[in-house]
Structure 1
Amino acid sequence: MTSHSLSQSGWRWLWLAPLVFVLDIGSKWLVMNTMGYGPANRIELLPFFNLTYVHNHGAAFSFLSDAGGWQRWLFSVIALGVSGLLTYWMRVTPASKRMLNIAYAMIIGGALGNLFDRLVHGYVIDFLDFFIGNSHWPAFNLADSAICVGAVLVVLDSFRHEQSSAT
């Protein structure tokens, strides 16, 4: 691919991945350096939302959090593999497929943000705590949010693509 054709690829949107990464790491740094650890030190912001600094040794919803440590490396390998695959897909996807490339970049940035935590701390730092009454959604972070929004955008793009090819 020439440099001109690279600018026409999805890599045009790759700048979003480091932006997500920096915002995620910055927010986690702020939480670690300004909040006490655990639910007893929560900051109540809204009737359904707190900031609560917690550690997640597992994956989404604390999946495998008590598995003994090997999961840290499994999730790290998965994050690297997914990020590499999505970066390749961005390279071969036209820049005009904006939603899809933005989705890939958000997922990459989020995956690398959580990978950084796993490699540096041994766990992921979570702090966004949504709840209804006494029922709390598992705490999460900006990286998790970017991954989820990116995944939703991929699904929405697939529906858009199906509708345009059906007509």
Structure 2
Amino acid sequence: MAEAERIIGTPDTPDDNGEQAAAGAPPGAGVSGAAGPQAPAQQQSGRARRIAVLFAVAAFAYALDLISKTLVVAKLEGHAPISLVGDLLELHATRNPGAAFGFGAAFTVIFTLIAAAVIVVIIRLARKLYSFPWAIALGLLLGGALGNLTDRIFRAPGVFQGEVVDFIAPKGFAVFNLADSAIVCGGILIVLLSFRGLDPDGTVHRD
């Protein structure tokens, strides 16, 4: 967990907009004497807004996943698949003991522990977050991880061994759910932000 924080961790007191860091200046450099005393308050306010974005995105993704799975269990399980786009896309209720897209069905407990660890790391990183795009990406990861972890804990066959409800079934592809989609979208966004050199603290680095 400490290693994960080191990889994408951020300094505790970065400049709020990251412009000085992008130019190579240290955080707080170039701030006039009059504005200096206001800088910590502005930084704290900016960080609070980004933390709020992270948890709002996570709550939205989690709520959508929970509602969709509740409807699927109530209306679709035990029934024939519903065709959405011919035979290209169907709603097909199934239970998945493995990871996303049906991988690793024999390692349910391990995937449960991994999901829990991811959630803890993201929450700990939130206190160092100063970037709106990173807040959205981490929020998607957090909401998706929470969605599938809820299944692991509360669904049959038992605590930490529960099977995840999947229902989105594209032709020729594994069945998945909205939590999986949120995790994948968050991961893709993180990769794009990393390629652009944008760090979680809002600074931009050039390799």
TM-score by length of 2: 0.68
Unaligned segments of structure 1, at least 5 residues:
none
Check conservation: 2:102, 2:175, Cα contact below 8 A: no
> 2: CA distance between counterparts of 1:6 and 1:52?
46
Aligned residue in 2 for 1:119: 153
CA contact (8 A) 1:100 1:154 kept: yes
Report the equivalent of 2:56. Answer: 15
Pair 87,49 (structure 1): closer, same or farther in 2 beyond 3 Å: same
* TM-score between both structures, scaled by the size of structure 1: 0.84
Which structure has the highest helix share of the two? 1
Q: Residues 166 and 7 from structure 1, CA distance in 2 versus in 1: closer, same or farther, beyond 3 angstroms?
A: same
The answer to whether the 8 Å contact 1:51/1:129 transfers is yes
Shift of the 28–36 alpha-carbon distance from structure 1 to 2, 3 Å rule, reads: same
Q: Counterpart in 1 of 2:15?
A: none
Determine the C-alpha separation between the residues in 1 that align with 2:163 and 2:101. 13
Which structure 2 segments of 5+ residues have no match? Answer: 1-11, 13-39, 156-161, 199-203
- What residue number does 2:5 align with? none
What is the root-mean-square deviation in Å for CA atoms of aligned residues?
A: 2.1
Deviations 1:37-87 (CA, angstroms, capped at 9, x unpaired) = 3xx71001103110000000000232221x2xxx33222211111111112
Residue type at the aligned position of 1:29 = T
Partner amino acid for 1:41?
A
Higher strand residue share: 1
Query: Which of 162, 167, 192 is the aligned partner of 1:156?
Result: 192
1:143 corresponding residue in structure 2: 179
Identity within the alignment, %? 34
Aligned length: 154
* Structure 2 equivalent of residue 31 of structure 1: 72
